[in-house]
Structure 1
Amino acid sequence: MLLSYRNLTVSFGGPKLLDNAGLTIDKRERICLLGRNGEGKSTLLRILNSEIQPDKGEIEAIPGLRIGKLDQEVPATLDGTVFEIVAQGLGDAAETIAKYHHLLHEIGEHPDDENIGEQLDELQHQLDQTDGWAIEHKVENILQRVDLDGEQEFSSLSGGNKRRALLARALIKEPHILLLDEPTNHLDIPGIRWLEEFLRKADIALLFVSHDRAFIQRVANKTLDLDRGQLTRWECDYDTYLVRKAELLAGEAKQQAVFDKKLAEEEIWIRKGIQARRTRNEGRVRSLKKMREERAERRNIQGKTKLDLSDAQLSGRKVITVDEISYSWAHTPLIENFSTTIWRGDKIGIVGLNGSGKTTLLNLLLKKLEPSSGSVTHGTKLEVAYFDQHRDQLDSKLSVAENVHPAGEMVNINGKPRHILSYLQDFLFTPETSRSPITKLSGGERARLLLAKLFIQPANVLVLDEPTNDLDIETVELLEERLLEYNGTLLLVSHDRSFLDNVVTSTIALEGNGCIEEYVGGCETWLKKQEDKKNASKKQKTTAPDKVVQSTAETTPKRKLSNKEREALKSLPTKIEQLEAEHAALTSLMATPEYYQNQENDLSGDAQRLEKMENDILEAYEQLESLS
């Protein structure tokens, strides 16, 4: 046992976030903390990291317990090289070595500055007298583990690499327990996979909050559920937890229904008792009072978000036509000679490394940016709704309700008027919260608010840029359901692998240096190709040059698909499904006695139809495999 909390209680004026809860963390456990937005997950992490104090609770911990923490957001005030930022994790002990590295950086830019040289000599002397060089070795070792260059300016890093640097800062003091709050936010998919492998191999205990189901399934070996102030520990993986939690909630609902029925009967009895007789069963009266108190203290499950997309008129069949577009940023090619056709009803995922140009591609497709060459043509009757990953569409000067609908109190949802406060309750905003400024909202609440603003617009083209960041898993799954039911066209940028695989029908992958490839289905095909590239690169490094040349010569180069082939690739799964359904229906019909008793049926003709359908299905599968 590393850490144990008993009777942990926290309240900020409303319902208790933690109500006499208990928590134990053991060595090498990887615990995922689950719960709805607003349940208090981040608060619990802050308590464990001694950032805030609970109202009540007894703690037991091993002597000298060290805890590291990686927060959701990257602080905007951090300045210096990566080495200096990571060294900060060691506190005052690393101040001298951080100064030394800072001056090394300075003298590289000003080699003739004698003042810097003198300061370097003085610091080197101090490091010789202390344990400073051991600290330097420690920092360089952790930087090697996270694959970062210590001399780079922290401000110049991508969002994903900044989080790597902050992870290194948390790990540098060799914590017994590492706390992670939404660690996959702003990481690209290869970055998430790297983090998964890193954490699985790390010899530390983890407690992390995440909405990324694939990440949870890969990393967690225990589950901790925060629900209505109570912490429940599940000694199983995520998929098993889902089954057992559903069974628990079903049992709880059944017990509450029996209790509520009994309470209603007792309320009727006591009212009749007052009228029918002068004396009553005092024990039964006391029991009723106790039942009333128990019902008053019950905390019901937080309601589910209701996501309903507003209907819009159908767009033209051809939504967006892209013809040989190219685009560069600061002389770096992001997109080169890319062509595609997006049809009504397509659900397209857009993936790639951070900085590869995913949002740029979206803006080109929506004609918010002009390509340097080529053209983008829109079809007819397009109505676009856009979800911005940076939440820039929200105005901090307005209230929650005003952000969604500033023009009055009534909104129109699918032709029916609704009060704005009633509409916002579908997104779990109380009337009080709806009238409050958005500055008080959490990250998950801001994401829900943007969905409320988005879904009020009639749209036949839905553009979502990282919509799942900060959302709880239940809301993510509900969003999946609505997108699957959506009849319009969807363009989706996401790093959530489960979300992509469950929603999209095809994937556009930005692979760097302007190269873009298209795949059928979710991101798994692209990830496998990336893994194959990585393995091939490793193999090539260990292969003799003459063998490499021979292998390259024998490899058949891949060609780009034509527009006609791309259209066929998108339509083949539907065609195969229809053929198989017709084949199954005719086979089932011909298996009945009634079929042969009906002289109008053409046995020979139907047998030939079956054979033709079998050949058509086989050819369609072969074509699909070839094009894929």
Structure 2
Amino acid sequence: MSLIKFDELCVSFGTRALLDHVNLQLEAGERVALVGLNGAGKSTLLKVVAGHQHPDSGVFWKDPAIRIAELSQMLPAADERRVRDVVMAGLAEVVELRARYEALVQQHDPSSMDQLERLQHELEARDGWHLEQRVETVLARLSLPGEKCMAELSGGWRRRAALGAALVQNPDLLLLDEPTNHLDIETIEWLEEQILAFRGGVLFISHDRALVDRLATRIIELDRGTLTSFPGNYSRYLEQKEALLQEEARHNAEFDKKLAQEERWIRQGIKARRTRNEGRVRALKKMREERSDRRERQGAARFNLEDAVKSGKLVVELENVSQSYEGIAIIRDLTLAIQRGDRVGLIGPNGAGKSTLLKILLGELQPESGTVRMGTKLEVAYFDQLRGQLDPERSIIDNVSGGRESIEINGQNRHIISYLQDFLFSPERARTPVKALSGGECNRVLLARLFSQPANLLVLDEPTNDLDIETLELLEEILLSYQGTLLLVSHDRRFLDNVVTSTLAFEGDGRVVEYVGGYQDWLRQRPKATSSKSNPAKSEADAGQAPAAASQSKTNNVRKLSYKLQRELDALPAMMEEAESLLARLQEETSAPDFYSQDHAHVSARLAALHDQEQKLETLMERWVELEEMQAGS
């Protein structure tokens, strides 16, 4: 069943067509990722679907009975509203309907009976008599503290409350615009599970490639005003996109070669004009128009790091360093040595102490105990996730060059306008005040400023927020070829895997442990006790506070299970393996390119089977954890 359709739909901004006669159809149960460069018009497309923006021309159709809910990329305000009220706000229209109904009932006016009856039917259709139960169900499902104020919550928990306000509407279609911005890794993984469990359609924008890879059943790319659909996940999209670009380049080369031949023919002089074919002349005119109308692919950002003199072999050494915040240990007895050329990733929940450790490593903060030995010849370039290095009132040019017309990059002078064009800023845009820029553009300004400075120690604190995927991949390539030392804080799992050579993980109770490799390597190597899959956002709520140590006196607490429970525990691994195998087959089936072209009843049945199998596997895993904890006496 189709939820929405675009038919030759157009939306323009000034003279630029963001959506140029596009067609789109989204089916129930699909999870569609919308990708494209920053500024391509992705958020505009979502606004059209949500009803916030009307198309300039063309047709936008949606199922008359459809319920659409949104999860904005903007976090809810940290104000005095209760979490319960924020979730209830998702039902604002139904709350208003019920208030009108109850007000009419209180009037005891016989002439309002028809209106009462209409309101009653509408409330029944929208399940308006069970508002409180629906809110309580969502609060329980998302483990939300209903009575707490939003001001008491971290960003991740406020994002969770916003998701609650969307899910309480029981939507048929969920719109997500960069839902992972400013979330830590475990909260991102929790969000993935919630979206996978959601049985409606999903249309989402995200630069998190790991999330797109896991969630998407189809990818649509917005490029130069046109939409192209790619069945499958992000990995398949990359393969198909590369083949498409090669074919486009081949076609354009053939077209341009033929156009050049025709241009030579028309200019052959008097002899050619005497014998020229009028049909051929008209065809040439049409080819000229087609070449003029061809919208060239927007260039990707181009930039390189400014080289600096090599630092000493030792960059920084910590010995038995400890640090606390408001009486809570965030770093405990950390001994660490970082050598020239190391690329180190820092991961952990928001508030765990990653930025504090960066300050200690850079010599900006003296630890409460322990010693710090800094290396020699260090030249530091720092990327600040809060963008505190930018003056919002000044232009891009002034923020990057300090008013100079040219800057020196690797020994060569470059005009500031030319340099900024490498970061996709036109000469007109380069004169814009920073306060008028989007989040992605602000990050590109920071990168332009950062990479104009000679540095042998590069510190990046959440550089991937708001960047489009192509710029992310270019940044990865540059960092991989960078000869200096890199300290990187990021919640982008794919970015960490592709860039870092070692990982410092904040594992609670002040424990900071070094692992070889990136995020996936950490998952394989970490002790089981550090996993918080049963409640991934718990670590963020604790803000780095210590979980109960499961290993403490474990051998003294082991209980002997009853015969029946022991047999159940012994059987569970095989049952989970079988459930995982069936789930993998269902996921492969529903990700097939032609899956949604089959009969609707069959598609719905297979998606329902996929959801049921996910729930079954989750139940088995929870039971296994429960029995293991009983056996351990935890």
TM-score category, normalised to shorter length: 0.7 to 0.9
User: Does 1:422 pair with 2:413?
Assistant: no
CA 1:156–1:208: 2 relative to 1, 3 Å: same
1:223 Cα offset (Å): 0.8
Letter in 2 for 1:80: R
Matches within 5 A, 1:441-590: 441-528=437-524, 532-533=528-529, 549=556
Cα separation, 2, equivalents of 1:353 and 1:546: 27
- Whether contact under 8 Å (2:329, 2:510) holds in the other structure is yes
Structure-1 residue corresponding to 2:75: 74
Cα separation, 2, equivalents of 1:293 and 1:546: 79
Letter in 1 for 2:269: G
* Cα displacement string for residues 109-146 of structure 1 (whole angstroms, at most 9, x for unaligned residues): xxxxxxxxxxxxxxxxxxxxxx9883122111111111
* Cα displacement string for residues 458-485 of structure 1 (whole angstroms, at most 9, x for unaligned residues): 0000000111111111111111111111
Cα separation, 1, equivalents of 2:169 and 2:532: 36
SS at match of 1:155: helix
- Whether contact under 8 Å (1:508, 1:519) holds in the other structure is yes
1:14 Cα offset (Å): 3.2
1:535 Cα offset (Å): 7.0
Cα separation, 1, equivalents of 2:324 and 2:318: 17
Letter in 2 for 1:449: V
Structure-2 residue corresponding to 1:19: 20
Of the three residues 413, 417, 436, the one matched with 1:440 is 436
Cα separation, 2, equivalents of 1:546 and 1:376: 34
User: Does 1:241 pair with 2:242?
Assistant: no
Cα separation, 2, equivalents of 1:331 and 1:234: 52
Structure-2 residue corresponding to 1:84: 85
1:176 Cα offset (Å): 0.6
Structure-1 residue corresponding to 2:258: 262
SS at match of 1:16: strand
SS at match of 2:448: helix
Deviates more, 1:139-148 or 1:520-529: 520-529
CA 1:217–1:531: 2 relative to 1, 3 Å: farther
- Whether contact under 8 Å (1:462, 1:490) holds in the other structure is yes
Letter in 2 for 1:264: A
User: Does 1:190 pair with 2:186?
Assistant: yes
Cα separation, 1, equivalents of 2:257 and 2:44: 37
Matches within 5 A, 1:229-378: 229-273=225-269, 277-278=273-274, 280-378=276-374
CA 1:496–1:278: 2 relative to 1, 3 Å: same
Cα separation, 1, equivalents of 2:234 and 2:502: 27
CA 1:37–1:132: 2 relative to 1, 3 Å: closer
Of the three residues 364, 377, 382, the one matched with 1:386 is 382
Cα separation, 1, equivalents of 2:128 and 2:6: 37
1:63 Cα offset (Å): 2.2
Q: Which entry has the higher C-alpha Rg, 1 or 2? A: 1
Of the three residues 133, 142, 160, the one matched with 2:138 is 142
Letter in 1 for 2:15: G
CA 1:217–1:277: 2 relative to 1, 3 Å: closer
- Whether contact under 8 Å (1:88, 1:95) holds in the other structure is no
Give 5+ residue unaligned stretches, structure 2. Answer: 100-126, 535-547, 560-634
1:392 Cα offset (Å): 1.6
The CA RMSD measured in Å over matched residues stands at 2.5
Letter in 2 for 1:521: G
Cα separation, 1, equivalents of 2:492 and 2:389: 22
1:275 Cα offset (Å): 7.3
Structure-2 residue corresponding to 1:50: 51
Structure-2 residue corresponding to 1:563: none
1:329 Cα offset (Å): 1.5
Cα separation, 2, equivalents of 1:325 and 1:443: 36
Letter in 1 for 2:47: R
Deviates more, 1:444-453 or 1:490-499: 444-453
- Whether contact under 8 Å (2:501, 2:518) holds in the other structure is yes
* Cα displacement string for residues 194-247 of structure 1 (whole angstroms, at most 9, x for unaligned residues): 111111111111111111111111111111111111111122221111101110
1:424 Cα offset (Å): 0.6
1:417 Cα offset (Å): 0.4
SS at match of 1:266: helix
Structure-1 residue corresponding to 2:598: none
Cα separation, 2, equivalents of 1:56 and 1:364: 57
1:89 Cα offset (Å): 0.5
- Whether contact under 8 Å (1:505, 1:521) holds in the other structure is yes
1:78 Cα offset (Å): 5.0
Structure-1 residue corresponding to 2:594: none
CA 1:281–1:502: 2 relative to 1, 3 Å: same
SS at match of 1:135: helix
Of the three residues 137, 147, 169, the one matched with 1:173 is 169
Letter in 2 for 1:8: L
SS at match of 2:17: coil
Cα separation, 1, equivalents of 2:76 and 2:532: 38
Q: In percent, how many aligned pairs have the same letter?
A: 53
- Whether contact under 8 Å (2:28, 2:200) holds in the other structure is yes
Matches within 5 A, 1:213-228: 213-228=209-224
Cα separation, 1, equivalents of 2:159 and 2:533: 26
Cα separation, 2, equivalents of 1:433 and 1:536: 45
- Whether contact under 8 Å (2:40, 2:223) holds in the other structure is yes
1:31 Cα offset (Å): 0.6
Structure-1 residue corresponding to 2:34: 33
CA 1:241–1:455: 2 relative to 1, 3 Å: same
Deviates more, 1:282-291 or 1:527-536: 527-536
Cα separation, 2, equivalents of 1:81 and 1:530: 37
CA 1:40–1:325: 2 relative to 1, 3 Å: same
Letter in 2 for 1:10: V
SS at match of 1:390: coil
CA 1:444–1:93: 2 relative to 1, 3 Å: same
Letter in 1 for 2:336: T
Letter in 2 for 1:439: K
1:309 Cα offset (Å): 0.4
**TM-score, length of structure 1 as denominator length:** 0.79
1:286 Cα offset (Å): 1.0
Give 5+ residue unaligned stretches, structure 1. Answer: 99-130, 553-628
